[in-house]
Amino acid sequence: MNRSRSEQFFKEALHFIPGGVNSPVRAFRGVGGTPFFAQSASGCRVWDEDGNPYIDYVCSWGPSILGHADPAILQAIQEAAENGVSFGIPTARELEMAKKISKWVPSIEKVRMTSSGTEATMSAIRLARGFTGRDKIIKFEGCYHGHVDSLLVKAGSGGLTLGQPDSAGIPRALAELTIALPYNDLEAVRRTLELYPGEIAAIILEPVVGNVGLILPLPGYLEGLRELTQKHEVILIFDEVMTGFRLARGGVQELHGISPDLSTFGKVIGGGLPVGAFGGRKEIMDFLAPLGPVYQAGTLSGNPLAMAAGLMQLQLLEERNAFQRLEELGQLLEDRVLATLKRKGAPYVWHRIGSMFSLFFTQGPVRNLKEAMGSDRERFARFFHLLLEEGVYLAPSQFETGFLSLAHGQEEIELTAQAMERALEKVIP
Ligand SMILES: *Cc1c(COP(=O)(O)O)cnc(C)c1O
């Protein structure tokens, strides 16, 4: 496959942009080689600058749940833009978005919009600290909550891909306030809460982890966290930036019937435009300025284009019966992939929930970061490049999740399964 234009762009980009990219995982460091440059995208396909098409399982890292360039979303953005692209003044669309989120996610009584998921988690942490008057927080190894100082401790996603789950530049004094525990280990949480009575402000987690590859909560884990946090009066924060409006209308919390105190969102609710949101119990949210003492703000928060795109995306999810359809597509992909994997007898762990999936090359099980790290990353890299050559684009790291969109059809899934079969033939002798 000729990627000479992409290679040229990347070479030049290296001179002007650190690593040639505006977000680290895009640089393909997790799999080697050079990234392709996207020229356009439509439905479930992306075309690179050399005109090569790829069936896309990254979907802009989650937001493009309808597929790329859905005409209804484009129209919503255009109509909004014609009336002005930003005001910094309240708009009706922000109210509509807040009402929609509260309706779809029962734990949300009040919500505030931001421009990224990172801002949402950063603000949720600050709010939890302000509300409780406590400084320490608990997070889990491999959970990624954006590049927030307090949360870039044993984080997943890009840091993990580059072998740097902790970042330089974070003051030790701040990092010491973050306690990172293994995921899926309720005992560790219980012990920590007992060790620091009255000191922990919040527990933040991905209720389904998508930034170590895909890891699911063990039965009773989320329920146990809710019980423990209630007992110790610790704020429970579900980071549903990835899972919200993707796994169900009301996210993982709907699937488990759990009410976290605060939740964070992003990705899908922006329809592909920059967005984030955090919300939850009224009494906590009312601690925010201008009502309360916790300051939080944003010049472009609630941006009209992002609200228009997001509202249209949410409306279409409903109209197109998205969650049922995505589950069917996920099942279809799973059946085909598992048939191949079983035939090969490879060491593998396949995880899927709805439209999210990942394939770890390891004997398993994979219940936490440590077990995920046991995967054969070299094998994944070869698998990734073989698929790329066949026009199938998975996220360029063992530690990311695959996404299906409503634009993926039976035909593309079949093509993908066949490409995977050929790739597996080569990577598993
Ligand atoms: C992507 C992601 C974030 C960060 O969102 P950005 O918009 O990239 O800042 C936070 N939490 C989770 C779970 C995510 O997947």
- Residue 126 and residue 275 share a domain: yes
- Residue 193 and residue 288 share a domain: yes
Nearest protein Cα to ligand 1, atom 5: 117
- Residue 224 and residue 283 share a domain: yes
- Residue 96 and residue 52 share a domain: no
- Residue 313 and residue 239 share a domain: yes
What's the rounded mean pLDDT across residues 346-364?
95
Given a cut of 90, whether residue 162 has pLDDT beyond it is no
Write the CB contacts of 122 (distance below 8 Å, at least 6 apart in sequence): 146, 148, 150, 151
- Residue 18 and residue 83 share a domain: no
- Residue 123 and residue 78 share a domain: yes
Total domains in the chain come to 2
Provide the token pair at 233.
């009066």
Alpha-carbon span 269 to 310, nearest angstrom: 5
Pocket of ligand 1 contains residue 238 by CB under 6 Å: no
Given a cut of 90, whether residue 370 has pLDDT beyond it is yes
Single residue among 266, 297, 318 that ends a domain in this structure: 318
Q: Using 50, 70 and 90 to split pLDDT, how confident is the model at 300? A: very high
The domain in which residue 308 lies consists of 71-318
- Residue 111 and residue 89 share a domain: yes
Single residue among 292, 318, 344 that ends a domain in this structure: 318
Pocket of ligand 1 contains residue 413 by CB under 6 Å: no
Query: At 50, which CATH number?
Result: 3.90.1150.10
Pocket of ligand 1 contains residue 241 by CB under 6 Å: yes
Percent share of the chain, pLDDT over 70:
100
pLDDT of residue 121: 98
Given a cut of 80, whether residue 161 has pLDDT beyond it is no
- Residue 79 and residue 32 share a domain: no
Judging by DSSP bridges, how do beta strands 235-239 and 200-205 pair with one another?
parallel
- Residue 183 and residue 325 share a domain: no
Q: Using 50, 70 and 90 to split pLDDT, how confident is the model at 343? A: confident
Which atom of ligand 1 is nearest the CA belonging to 243?
13
Mind telling me the catalytic residues? 144, 239, 267
Q: Could you tell me which of 425, 413, 380 has the C-alpha nearest to residue 398?
A: 380
Tell me the three state secondary structure of residue 335.
helix
Pocket of ligand 1 contains residue 273 by CB under 6 Å: no
Nearest protein Cα to ligand 1, atom 15: 242
Query: At 241, which CATH number?
Result: 3.40.640.10
Q: Indicate the helix (H) or strand (E) that contains 263.
A: strand 262-266
Single residue among 285, 318, 351 that ends a domain in this structure: 318
pLDDT digits (tens, 9 = 90+) for 67-83: 999 999 999 999 999 99
Q: pTM of the entire structure? A: 0.97
- Residue 185 and residue 199 share a domain: yes
